[in-house]
Structure 1
Amino acid sequence: MSPRPLGRPRPLYATCDAGGEEALAGELVKLKCEEVSPAHRGVYFWGGEETVWRVNLYSRLANRVLIPLAEFPAADRKALYEACKKIRWDWWVHSSQTIAVDASSHKSVMQHTHFIAQLVKDAVVDSMRERFDERPSVDTQNPDLPINARLSDDVCTISLDTSGARLHRRSYRIDGGPAPIKETLASLLNHLVAWRPHEPIIDLTCGSGTILIEAALRSQMKAINAQRLSQEGFAFQRWRSHAKLKFESWLTKGPQSRSFSSHFWGSDINRRQIARAIDNADQATLPNGLIHWQRADFNEGAVLARQWLDNLNIEASNGRKAVLLMNLPYGERLKNDHQVMVKLFRDLGAQLKELFSGCEAWLLVSDESPWREIGLKPKTQTALRNGAISVKLVQFELY
C-alpha cells in the first residue's frame, strides 16, 4: 500500500438501517460501486477515493461509509493493542490532528466497549508518538479521524469512518420536533413503496416533514448531502491522504440537479410541526410551493387532500392514483395512549376506504400498536427498525 492509500480500489463498507440492505445494495450499484454484497445492516463493496466521495455525497440510504483497515484475532487486550499499533496511522492523519474511537462487541471475551476504545486509542497514540515524538489528541465530538473498532467472536475489525457525522443527519433539518423519523429511514420508505417522482404522494401525519422532504429532494435529483460541504464537511476531507485539488475538480464534474413535475401533500394537526416542516423545506432549498403544507386534524386533512388530488387531474400511474405514505404516531408521539391509537386507526381505515379508492396506502407502524383496527387486509408487511423501536411498513391496496 502506498502513502496515498485510497489511490486504488479497496474493500469498503456502508452501514444502513435494518431492512435496508438490499435497497442500499441497489443504490450502490447505481452509484457505480463494484463487487456489491449485502450483509447484516450494511453492504460491502469495492472502490477508491472517488467511490468514497460519491457514496458520501449521493447515497440517500447509507448511514456512514467505512474503510476496513485490518482484521485480526483479539481475545485479549495484548492482542488488540499490538495489532492496532502495527497499523500505519500516519498514512491517514498527522500527529497534530485529533482522533476518536467508537467500539462495539458481540460474543467476545472483551465486552466492555469503553475499555476496547481506550485500548485502540492507546495503540494509535503510542504508534504515532514512537514515530514522530508527537501524538494526536482525542476529540469525541468532531475528530479528524473517526476510528471504528468492532469485535465479533473475538475477531476485531478496525475501520475508518469517512463520513464523520452520520449521513442521516441531513443539513436541512433545523428542528425535527418530538420523535422524528431518521432521514435515511424516510428515504428507505420512499424506495420500498416504489414511489416515482411524477406520482402524487400524501402524508396526513407529516410531523416536521421528513418523509416528504426526502421524496422532494429525490424528485429534484439533488446530491442529498451536498449542503454538508459548506458546513462541517466529511471526515475524509481532513485526512492526510485526502486529494483536495482532485476532489474540488471532481465536484465540478458531478451531475447537475434536475427536477420532475412532482406533487406533495403534507398535513398535521400540530401547528408547530407544520411550521417546522416549512422551515426544514426552506433549509433544503426546495422550490416554494413544491410541497403543499396544511394544518388540519386527520379527518379534515384527508378530505382536503382528496380535493387537492382531484384538482391535480393526473391519470393513475402503476395502477395507482397516488401514494399515501405515513409514519403513524406511536410510543413517545402518543405517550402510549392505547385508546387514542385505536381511534386513530379506525378513523384512518374509514377515510382510506371512503376517500382514496384507486390509491395505495403504506403505513409505518410499531409492532405494539393496534394497527389492525384499520379494518383493511394488508397486501405486504416489511419489518424495519426506527432507531431502537421495531416497526413494520404495511401496504394496503384501496379499491
Structure 2
Amino acid sequence: MLIYEYKLDGSKAQFAAIEEAIRTTQFIRNKCLRLWMDARGVSRNDLQRYCAVLARQFPFALSLNSQARQAAADRAWAAISRFYEHCRLKTPGKKGYPQFQHDCRSVEYKQTGWKLEADGIHIRFTDGCGIGRLRLIGSRDIMTFPLSQIKRVRLLRRADGYYCQFAVAATRRVEHQPTGKQVGIDLGLRAFFTDSEGNTVAPPQYLRKAERRLKRLHRRLSKTQKRSANRKKARQALSKAYLKVQRQREDFARKQANALVSSHDVIAYEALQIRHLVKNRHLAKSISDAAWGRFLWWVRYYGTLHHVPVIGVEPAFTTQDCSRCGQRVKKSLSVRTHLCPGCGLLLDRDHNAALNILHKALQGTVGQTGTDAPQGTSNASGQPAATRRRTAAPRKQAG
C-alpha cells in the first residue's frame, strides 16, 4: 500500500466543513466504543450496523458518507481488537483499554463519497458535509493509478493546514545492488549510531536546537487570555514549531535508513526497549530527540523493499563483552573506551558494541534468511522470532 499526500487549497467554509466531518467521525467512533462498553459480545459487524442507527438518530451523522461512518466504526474496533490481542498474549504492563477520543484530526473515506477530476489536481467530495471541490497541491501525479486501486482517501488537519492522503493498492519495487557488506549498528546519544566499521553519524538534536524558540512561544502562549484570538494564533505558531521539529526528525531518519540499507546486504541492530529507556528522567529528552524508534522503522521498511535481512538482537552485554575474545569487561556509562585486559583490544565503546551486535546476528541466523518487516507488514514488533517472544529482555543503558 502506497500513501500519496497532497496539501489542500480551499476556502474557509470548506475547511470548516472538513472540521465538521472530523468531529462527526470522532462522535461515531466514541458512540461505537460506548456500545461495546455497555453491551457484551459486540462484534465488528454490530458496530458497522450501529452506524446506520446513528445516522437515523442524528442528522449531522447522516450528512457524512456511509462508508466514512463505517471507517469511523473500524477505528473503534481497531482499538478494541488491539486490547483483546494484548490480553490474549498476556502482554506485560497495561493492556491498552480503549479510551474515548478527544483529539481526532482526520476523516477517512473508502471508495465512495469523493470523485477525482480528470485534470488530476482537483478532488470533489459528494456527501452531505458540503466540502465540495478542493485543489491538490503536490508534485506526484495520482492519475497514474487506476481509480480502482485507490482504496482510501483521508482528510487530515495539521498545524500548517489541511492535507489529503490517497492509499493506493500498489507494490513498490526496488532493485538492490549487492555490495557484499554486513554491518551492525549501535544506537547512542553522543553519536546517533556507530557501525561495526567504526563510522559514526552525528546526532541532529533538532529539539535541542529549537528549544529557545519553543520556550519563547510557550511563554507567549501562557500570557494570552483564554478563548481569545491571540491565544489561537499563539497556539498555532507553537504547533507549527513542533511540526517543523517532527518533520526534520522524519527526514533525517528516512535518509539515514535509506543510505544504510542501500549500501549493505545484512544489517543488525539492537532491539532496545525504548519505552523503558525514556523512563530515565536524565536522558528522556535526549532519547526522544534522537527518535531511534522512527529510524529503526525506516530501516526495516527499506530492508523489506530491498530484500535485505534486517536482524534485531538482544542488547544484553553488547557493550560489556569484548568483540575479539568475548571476555566480559564491566564498565560504567561514563567510560567511553573498551580496553580488554585479556587480549588487549582497545576500541571505542560503541564500535565494540556494534561488532558484538553483528556477531550475535550472524550466529543466530546461520542458514536462515529474512527481513524483520516494519509495523503493518509481517512482524509488528520489528524483532526476530527468537527475540520477540521474550517478555522481559535485559535493558541497556542509553549511549
TM-score tier, shorter chain, comes to under 0.3
Considering fraction of residues, name the structure with more helix.
2
TM-score calculated relative to the size of structure 1: 0.25
Larger radius of gyration: 2
Considering fraction of residues, name the structure with more strand.
1
TM-score calculated relative to the size of structure 2: 0.25
